[in-house]
Structure 1
Amino acid sequence: MKSLHAFVATIAVGSLLVSGCQKQEHSVPTSAADSTSSYLIDTVRRLPPQQKLVLNGAVTFDQEDVIRVFPLVSGNVETINAPLGTYVKKGQALAVIRSGDISTYVNDYQADKSDLEVALQNEKNVSAQYKAGFASETDYLTARNAVKKAEEELSKSTNILQVYGGSSNSGNPYFTVKAPIAGYVVQRDVNAGQDLRSDSQNPLFTISSLKQVWVMANVYEQDIPLIRQGQAVTVNVLAYPDKVFTGTIGNVSSVLDEQARVLKVRIVLANPEGLLKPDMFATVHAQLADRPNAADQLAVPQKALVFDRDQYYVVVQTAPNKYAIREVSVSQNTTRYAFVTGGGLQPGDRVVTEGSLLIYSDLTN
């Protein structure tokens, strides 16, 4: 059996004049055996408008139910205790950082503690001298103020040490990164041995409960009028083909993706059992409004469409071994069919499905 490339190699090189209506024909010299093995033909048909719109998307975590953990100190990562995807409890250690900042905070605490001890002893001596008449009231008040200032400094250094997890009884320069909430580690951007800065803009860990997730789905331009915020949808994922998840469209983007030419919609799904995981591929089915009187429309298989220069085309077999390119407009996409208009297509016309892109490329070069 000849391959598609072998089939293309047999196409005679000729010139193709593509007119505005794009109905020029071109012959492809090949045998009947080659044609059946190299590409497939299907027919244009009339079908009733679909009542469901099928969208492709991916599961992601709920951005409104997520905590990003940043490094509070600079230093070197000693250990990682929470691999990606791990469930962690609130307060659980995620990583340990060896940090010179902690040493500084411990030293500050020890210095402030010593200053307070000195101030207390000085106040005790001045107080005794004041009672015996050997010190003035000013000396006594100065000693009291020194104690108060030393207490304030010690309180501040103690609070800083507590915030950063340092120990007042140990000079070990270690900072433990702890989980602020219970949930799953859905992103991890740190490794053991990595050097960190306290002003880093990148979080070390991202934690989400995953009790609710989002599905970000793609809507093509022609389908935008069929989508609205609050619309009920059902979602299927490859991991659970027999399970149907229900949700609603929570947001419809106002900006079209320049590269993919799609509009992003956000679907909110409850995930109490934690079955849905970030980055799972999802198929979304949106129920459309009933259109009982809508006329049947021309439909071609999805594989018959060729997208080029911001336009859709199909390759039509006009006669045995003769083909023409027709420009069409797509009004609606489904899993199997694309509903099209234009191109002079009629029910029963034969369109190339498998191999359409190869023939199109040859005819347009």
Structure 2
Amino acid sequence: MSEFILRLQHLTRKQQAAIAALLVLVGAAVYGLAHVGAANKGNSEVSSQSRKGAQNFTPTPSEWATLTIEPVSEKAFRAEHVTEGKVAVDEDRSTPVFSPYAGRVTKLLARPGDSVTQGQPLFTIEAADTVQAQNDFIAAMTGMNKAKSALDLAEIQYKRAKDLYEGKAVPLKDYQQAEANQVQAQNDMRSSATALEAARKKLRILGFTDEAISAFQSKSTINPEITIYSPISGTVVQRKIGPGQYVNAGASDPVFVIGDLSTVWLIAFVRESDAAIVSAGQEISVNVMALPGHPLTARISYVSAAIDPATRRLLVRATIDNREGVLKPEMFATVTIYSKGDHPAAAVPK
């Protein structure tokens, strides 16, 4: 006890006053507990010392050992703002797939949730729009073959006319005519090659792969059924068509959405009253029901320029690593946004 008094003597007056106030509060609390214990001694257990007198409370040695006295001090705290949010597809790493022409769906080759690679078939469609493109390609290919045959013949005639002219067997005009025919055949060959390449590019734009074009070039048969392929590698996030469904070219709604879910967006909806304290770069903590007790950390990468007029919320966004695939689009989340800088406040020791 003397050691405790010596410690008190070395404290400042403010610290001694704080300790005295704390002891008064402890004494008042003990006194109140003693009265409650006396009124309810049939329902609760009291220490051996308190049973001797209803108005007295003497702590046991073990209770004295747990008693510590510390002054209330000022500490820096980080302000937290809790709001709701959801997991969404990272639109920077996802692609909507549209049908480049109108037609009826004949086969579905991928389902929602499937992992696909770039160039993998998604569905087939019977489209009349491709018939004209295929016909143009066949016509260009036929013109190319004719031009090649004409060029081969012109080169043979030119070589023969040159030999005869050098042997003085034919006049100069026959040699010049053969030379002109060769030049014309070469020009026709270049024109037909350009037309064939243009027809080939048109087929590529319509969704034909190089393998499909090569197979079509060898068979030279028109097939109205065309396969649509995945433009990127990822996961089928959405599929909005069914077998036999008619789709329009240039529709605003995609038929498939392919996304790379190795990263996802966390979209938080900040209350209008907290909008002023939110900025890009702030740290956030994210809790989802799929990972109880394991909060995820990220930083705000985007803050909307306007409040949503329907919900009166400010949309903010962060990118979260999802290589393990635990986070799924449309999952609900609880988001804690930490304000920049620390704010001093009185702290009571634990």
Normalised by the length of structure 1, the TM-score is 0.61
Query: How many angstroms apart in 2 are the aligned matches of 1:114 and 1:213?
Result: 50
User: What CA distance in whole angstroms lies between the structure 2 residues aligned with 1:143 and 1:291?
Assistant: 85
2:224 is the counterpart of 1:173: yes
Displacement of 1:59: 0.8
What is the letter of the counterpart of residue 291 of structure 1? H
Equivalent residues in 2 for 1:72-91, closer than 5 Å: 72-91=100-119
Q: Among residues 210, 226, 237, which one is paired with 2:261 in the alignment?
A: 210
Letter in 2 for 1:116: M
In structure 2, the residue corresponding to 1:104 is in which secondary structure?
helix
How far is the alpha carbon of 1:235 from its aligned partner?
0.7
Name the Cα RMSD after superposition: 2.6
Identity, % of aligned positions:
33
3-state DSSP class of the match of 2:91? coil
Q: How does 1:1-150 map to 2 (within 5 A)?
A: 51-130=79-158, 131-132=160-161, 135-150=177-192
Which structure has the larger Rg over C-alpha atoms? 2
Aligned length: 247
1:291 and 2:343 matched:
yes
Task: Give the structure 2 partner of residue 333 of structure 1.
Answer: none
- Aligned residue type for 1:138: A
Distance 1:240 1:139, change over 3 A: same
Q: What is the CA-CA distance between 1:282 and the residue it aligns to?
A: 0.6
Distance 1:224 1:144, change over 3 A: closer
1:233-248 matches, within 5 Å, as: 233-248=284-299
Aligned CA distance change for structure 1 residues 146 and 208 (closer, same or farther; 3 Å): same
Change (3 A) 1:294 1:223: farther
Q: Does 1:157 align with 2:230?
A: no
Structure 1: give runs of 5+ residues left out of the alignment: 1-48, 296-365
Q: Residue 214 of structure 1: SS of its match in structure 2?
A: strand
- Structure 2 unaligned spans of 5+: 1-76, 162-169
Q: Which has the higher helix share?
A: 2
What amino acid maps onto 1:255 in structure 2?
Answer: A
- Residues 292-344 of structure 1: CA deviation (Å, up to 9, x unaligned): 3279xxxxxxxxxxxxxxxxxxxxxxxxxxxxxxxxxxxxxxxxxxxxxxxxx
1-structure distance, mates of 2:272, 2:131: 58
Aligned equivalents of 2:189 and 2:78: distance in 1? 82
- Aligned pairs (5 A) from 1:157-306: 157-163=199-205, 164-165=207-208, 166=212, 167-168=216-217, 169=219, 170-288=221-339, 289-293=341-345
Do the aligned partners of residues 263 and 106 (structure 1) sit closer, same or farther apart at CA in structure 2, a change above 3 Å counting? same
Aligned AA (2:343): R
Task: Read off the aligned partner of 2:254 and give its amino acid letter.
Answer: P
The residue type paired with residue 293 of structure 1 is A
Report the residue type matching 2:311 in the other structure.
A
Report deviation, 1:275.
0.9
Deviation digits for residues 216-235 of structure 1, max 9, x if unmatched?
A: 11111222233232111111
Length-normalised TM-score, structure 2? 0.63
Opposite residue 196 of structure 1, the aligned amino acid is: V
